[in-house]
A = this chain, B = another copy of it.
Amino acid sequence: MTLSVALIGATGYTGLELAKILSTHPDADLTVATARAEAGQAISHVHPSLVGRVDLELEELDPASIAGRCDVAMCCLPHAASAETVKQLVEAGVRVIDFSADFRLSSLETYETWYDVKHPWPERVGKTVYGLPEFFADKIADADVVANPGCYPTSAILPLAPLVREGLVETGDIIVDSKSGVSGAGRSAKVATLYCETNESIAAYSVGCHRHQPEIEDLVQRISGRPTEVIFTPHLTPMSRGILSTIYVRPSGGSESTTKAVERVMQCWRDCYANSPFVTAVDHLPATAHVLGTNYVQMAVRRAGDRLVLLSAIDNLAKGASGAAVQNMNVMFGFSQRAGLV
């Protein structure tokens, strides 16, 4: 039987990417798509790239009405607004994959400090599975709500977490320097993301204060059992899609060990991700183009002085958002993790 999927908040880039992926999924169909201002329009009117591919009328969000018409809802709303809707959907009996940050962190206090809002469903904070099937597949399989990971955190946690868990790197001296395409900034009209503002230019932003820093620290700690601190600097890069994270770590045991450390890192990754179809440890230096439009992560490691440099590349809209959501959906409903994904 084909799974019915509702897309809550269809007008952004993650909603569009989700609609595209689902249009080729062998076991799932998009049956509902909601939008506020655009309700009543065809989804292909808002996203002309869906002409011939997805034929659906956008409707206003009505959790009760949606409940009867879908097996799972993908919620692409802004934080806080999202938790509100997730709660209603769950109470109406719908399983939900939530793209917002509302259920990702362990600590309510950390959430309310960094996001500067009162959480609409505090009881579920710290009790919702984080949607990285590479580590939490069992819990995802049974979950009513899955917190879909942030894009930067995915690119940082996957290379870092197994190394920290195995004690291969020092936990107090980790620097994550990430470069993201502009789609990560969303599809609302802002001067800062106009073509002429971001084209032919690269710049850092939110240095030392980006909300994905506590998410990275929290998850590396949850996976490894070791308290971890990271310095995190995101950069806006003149490209539509992709994240490259360049991560500086110190191998445990000091600089004399860096030569062997490269081998140990590769082996640790291969062991950890042996059954993870999308995570690959590669010999070449990964470029974001190598994973463009796919759910893959490419990771590599190099020596530099007394440090190791970890490189990881993902597509921020695929493995960094909508691809990950479909991978989570596949786990929740017993499909192959690869179903519908490139």
- Give A contacts to B, CB under 8 Å: 13, 20, 23-24, 45, 48-49, 51-53, 175, 177, 179, 181-183, 187-191, 193-205, 207-208, 229-233, 235, 237-242, 244, 246, 248, 277-278, 280, 282, 284-294, 296, 298, 302-305, 307, 309, 311, 313, 342
Contact = CB atoms under 8 A, between A and B. Distances in A.
Given A191-B187, A240-B195, A290 B49 contact: yes
Given A52-B280, A187-B191, A280-B52, A179 B235 contact: yes
A309 B194 contact: no
A331 B291 CA distance: 30
Contacts of A287: 48, 201-203
A239 to B, nearest CB: 5
Given A48-B287, A342-B24, A305 B238 contact: no
A240 B277 contact: no
Contacts of A278: 52
B205 A285 contact: yes
Contact of A231 (B194, B293, B305): B305
- Residue of A49, A53, A232, A244 with highest tally of chain B CB at under 10 A: A49
Contacts of A296: 51-53
Contact of A235 (B48, B198, B204, B244): B244
A303 B207 CA distance: 8
A286 B48 contact: yes
A182 B196 CA distance: 7
The 3 A-B residue pairs with the shortest CB-CB distance, nearest first, are: A208-B304, A201-B289, A203-B287
A288 B193 contact: no
A79 to B, nearest CB: 21
B201 A239 contact: yes
Given A196-B240, A239-B201, A246-B204, A304 B233 contact: yes
A164 B301 CA distance: 29
Nearest to A278: B52
A282 B51 contact: yes
A179 B15 CA distance: 29
B194 A305 contact: no
Nearest to A303: B208
A200 B52 contact: no
A231 B308 CA distance: 10
A63 B38 CA distance: 43
Nearest to A250: B173
A25 to B, nearest CB: 12
Contacts of A302: 207-208
A288 B24 CA distance: 21
